[in-house]
Structure formats: C-alpha cells, structure tokens
Amino acid sequence: MTRTRIAVRTLPLLIAGLCSGSAMAAGFQLMEQNASGLGSAYSGTAAVAEDASTVFFNPAGMTYLPGIQAVIAGSLIKPQAKFSNDGSTAGSPLNPLGSANGGDAGDLAFVPATYFTMQLTPSLGIGLGINAPFGLKTEYDSDWIGRYHGIKSEVRTININPSIAYKINDQISIGAGLNFQRLDAELTSAVAYSTIIAAGSRNAILIPGLEGTSKVKGDDTGWGYNLGAIFQVSPSTRLGAAYRSKIKYNVTGDVTFDRPTSANPTANAIMAGATPNGPIKLDIELPDVATFSVHQKLSEQWEMMGDVSWTGWAKIPRLSIYRTDGTLLSNTEENWRNTVRVAFGGAYKYSDALKLRAGVAYDQAPVEAEFRTPRLPDMDRYWLSLGGQYKVSAAGAIDFGYTHIFIKNGTIRDNSGGGQSQALQGFLIGNYNSNSVDILAVQYSHKF
C-alpha cells in the first residue's frame, strides 16, 4: 500500500483541478423578473412602477399602485454557447482529448416570478415577491474536448422578498425590502484517472484511456435587503434609484467521484485514495446591484425610459472549494470585474387596450478574457427587444415580450492555473463565435 499512500500525499493539488470553476459559472444575473419590462429591454426599471413587479426593481414604486394588485410571469430563456477548438492540448497522452466540440452548451430554462402588492393607506403599501435573481445552466456533451475543465454547471436560486413603501409627499416615495434567498449548485467534470494512476505509481502503472467523473453539489441560504426611492420631479418626469445588497453564502455539500474499475488492484487503490468522496464547503458572495432610472412621458401616446445599473461582480476574485477537513480541493482565479448595463426604451399607446414597447441595451460581462472558462464563456452582450401589453379587461392585462441578445465573439485560453492542474485537464484553446440568447416572456397582471 506504499504507492497508495504516496498518491494520497502528493495528489491533493493535482485533483484540485477536477472541480475547478465557479459556483457562479453557469449562473449570471437574471433581469427576467417580469414580462412587462422585457419588451423595452428592462429600461427604466427603477422608475416605471407599472405593476406589482416593482417589488423587485424598486419597492418605492408600490406607492403608485392603488388597491390590491398581483402579477404572475414566466420567461423562457435559451442561450446558445458553441465552442470551436483551436489547438487544445491534452495534459497527458494517457488521457487524449478527442475532437468533439461539445455541442450547444446552452440549456433551455424557465424562470417564473410572482408578485403581490396592497395599499394599506394612500401613503403606505406592502408587497411580496418570489423570483430567481441568479441562475441558468451550461452543459456540454460528456465526451467533449474540454470535459476535464467542466461538463455541467448549474446554479439555481429562489428569492422571497417582502417589502414596504411609504409616500413622503407628492414628489418623494421610499421603499425597502428583505430578501431570503436559497442557492443550489452543481458542477461536474471528467477525471483523467490514467494520469492520476501514472502519477501515483511514479509511472510504474500505465493504463491508457481510464477516466471517470466528479460531481460537486452544495446549497445554502442567505439574507439580504433592497432599498429604493422615486422622485416625481414633474407630472411627466419620474426618476428612480434602487439598490439590492450582496448576499453571502457558506455553501456546504459533497463531492462524489464515479471511478472506473481496473484489473490492477493497486491502480484501483490509487484512484480511491486520490479521489475520496466527502463533504465540501465554499464561501461566495453574490453581487450587489445599484440602478438609476428615468421615465419620461412625452405625450398621451409616447413614453421613454432609460436605465443605468452597476453590478458588483468583483466580489468574486476566486473560487476556492475545500473539503471540510481544510484540504483544498479546487482554487480557480476568476478575477471578475464590476459591470455596467445601459438600456434605453420606449412605449407607444396604440389604443386604450394595446401598448407597444421596444428597447435596446448594452450589457457588460464580468469575465475578463484571460480568465474565461468553459463554465461561463461570457462576453459583452447587446439587447434588441420588442413587446407590448394587451388589456383584457378593466382589471386584467397580459404583457408579452421577446428579446434577442447578440453576444460578442470571444476566445478561451483556459489551463485553470497551469502546473499540476494542467497535467490533469490539459490546455483548452478555442473560440466562442456567434453565440446568442433568445428570451420569450409573458405575464398576467390583475387589479382587485
């Protein structure tokens, strides 16, 4: 068993690359919290206060909603993420990469949201929102050329957001809310067991083509808050400012390895010793968001909206996954940057029943080119949106919207830090070209 003990002592840093990647790798900020904002590219979100979804975007807007109002919304989101190889190299000839590019890693997702508001007095309102501020998923074919860097990356959140708003006077309204949020994450990747056996046996055992998979799953809950204010500077001009706090998670879960079986007992012992199953932990902060918006009514038919938002992604400089005994399992330098999103849109009241919307936006990605990984192959994005609202009755309205997001081309040069990790994962070199996202959303709003 001497060789097995050597493997256990010398390979913890080597296997750190098995689950490298970000718990946020498939997750990014989801603007899709209603359908009424999608048609105008979510411009003016902190100032519009058109329906009960203002609970999420700016709770101060509840003072503009008389009586009792409710919204139920759903968004279908389909990203396209296709990798094209451009000279990737294997970490070891014992575990060749193959030539498969992985197919379309974008996965169709459904994002629901629901909101409720109640006016208690002419100056005081309360509300509740249930939504998913972060999420989505990437998943490549299991035999793709970058499988040692990542196969599946999925993050799901659910956010419960009770809120209160107060109208100070005819010009100023303020609001605040609490956020209870749950995060679930799953990361899978392939494991180069032939390379692990060779390293653990000091090249005494060479069995080509052995590979398995690793899976990290974890979850946690956290608390945050959101604040907002709306300024009615004139009968036709409204300004809004909103802030959503960061939420810190102490994620706990497990790492499990699906190991192949060899005819060599020592090889099996090396694999088991180098990749034991067990509990893991990860600390991560989801970013805060600040938004400034304007809503301008130009005439009885026309209105224009603008939006500038800032997201504090720089709170994720790296992702370090530890076993609960303190052993480092994975450490990935992310070096994400804070980002800015700018949106501009308009609406036209075609008739008393029908309103049409359109909008454009520029959305900056948090990922720097030199730190891009296949778990989040993100680049800057440009939004083109259309939508509208149809009032089915004096109390009910259906909102709908469609957006196509053009994603800039980008390259990937991911060796996950090089060194021993590269010996297991190889060097992934390639391009993501002509990627995009399509979003279709619908909601029903009702005034009681």
Residue 416 has what pLDDT? 61
Q: Are 39 and 359 in contact (CB under 8 A)?
A: yes
Q: Are 286 and 247 in contact (CB under 8 A)?
A: yes
Nearest one of 153, 199, 145, 211 to 20, comparing CA atoms? 153
Return the residue matching tokens 């919290």. 33
Mean pLDDT, to the nearest integer, of 93-103?
94
What are 314-369's pLDDT values in tens digits?
Answer: 988 888 889 999 888 887 777 889 999 999 999 999 999 999 999 999 999 998 87
Which token pair is 240? 């809004």
Q: How many CB atoms are closer than 10 A to CB 288? A: 19
The residues near 445 (Cβ < 8 Å, ≥ 6 apart) are 36, 51, 52, 69, 70, 71, 396, 397, 398, 399
pLDDT above 70: residue 23: no
Q: Enumerate the β-bridge partners of residue 442.
A: 74, 400
Residue 38 has what pLDDT? 96
CA–CA distance, 11 with 242 (Å, rounded to integer) = 48
The residues near 321 (Cβ < 8 Å, ≥ 6 apart) are 19, 216, 255, 280, 281, 282, 328, 329, 330, 331
Give the pLDDT band (50/70/90) at residue 168: very high
Q: What is the dihedral of CA 299, 404, 57, 285, to 10 degrees?
A: -160
Mean pLDDT, to the nearest integer, of 180-193?
94
Does this model's pTM top 0.85?
yes
Give the pLDDT band (50/70/90) at residue 415: low
Which token pair is 206? 């060479």
**Which regions of 192-277 does DSSP assign to beta strands (E)?**
212-234, 237-244, 247-258
Mean pLDDT, to the nearest integer, of 379-391?
95
Which token pair is 380? 């800057």
Q: Residue 320: exposed, middle, or buried by beta-carbon count in 10 A (0-12, 13-18, 19+)?
A: middle
Please provide the CATH number assigned to the domain covering 2-447.
Answer: 2.40.160.60
> What sign for the dihedral angle of Cα 9, 10, 15, 20?
positive
CA–CA distance, 428 with 211 (Å, rounded to integer) = 18
Please give the share of the chain, as a percent, with pLDDT higher than 70. Answer: 92
Residue 369 has what pLDDT? 77
Give the pLDDT band (50/70/90) at residue 28: confident
Which token pair is 216? 């990290």
252-267: burial string, b at 16+ Cβ within 10 Å, e else: ebebbbebbebeeebb
Task: Provide DSSP, 130-170.
Answer: EE-SEE-EEE--TT-TTTTT-SEEEEEEEEEEEEEEEE-SS
Give the pLDDT band (50/70/90) at residue 420: low
Residue 21 has what pLDDT? 30
Report the chain's mean pLDDT, rounded to a whole number: 89
Between strands 381-391 and 396-407, the pairing is: antiparallel
Residue bearing the bigger pLDDT, 11 or 405: 405
Between strands 83-85 and 134-135, the pairing is: unpaired
Give how far Cα 365 sits from Cα of 123, 339, 436, Å.
39, 7, 13
Residue 2 has what pLDDT? 38
pLDDT above 50: residue 177: yes
Q: Are 210 and 165 in contact (CB under 8 A)?
A: no
Mean pLDDT, to the nearest integer, of 140-164?
94
Return the residue matching tokens 């303020």. 174
What are 125-144's pLDDT values in tens digits?
Answer: 999 999 999 987 889 999 99
The residues near 86 (Cβ < 8 Å, ≥ 6 apart) are 411, 429, 430, 431
Residue 421 has what pLDDT? 65
Rg (CA), the chain: 25
pLDDT above 80: residue 4: no
Give the pLDDT band (50/70/90) at residue 27: very low
Helices 2-10 and 193-200, packing angle to 10 deg? 110
- Stretch (H or E) spanning 274: helix 265-274
Span of 102-111, 181-190, 227-236, 364-373 with lowest mean pLDDT: 364-373
Residue 16 has what pLDDT? 34
Residue 313 has what pLDDT? 92
CA–CA distance, 164 with 177 (Å, rounded to integer) = 6
Mean pLDDT, to the nearest integer, of 226-248?
97
CA–CA distance, 278 with 257 (Å, rounded to integer) = 9
Which token pair is 334? 């992310």
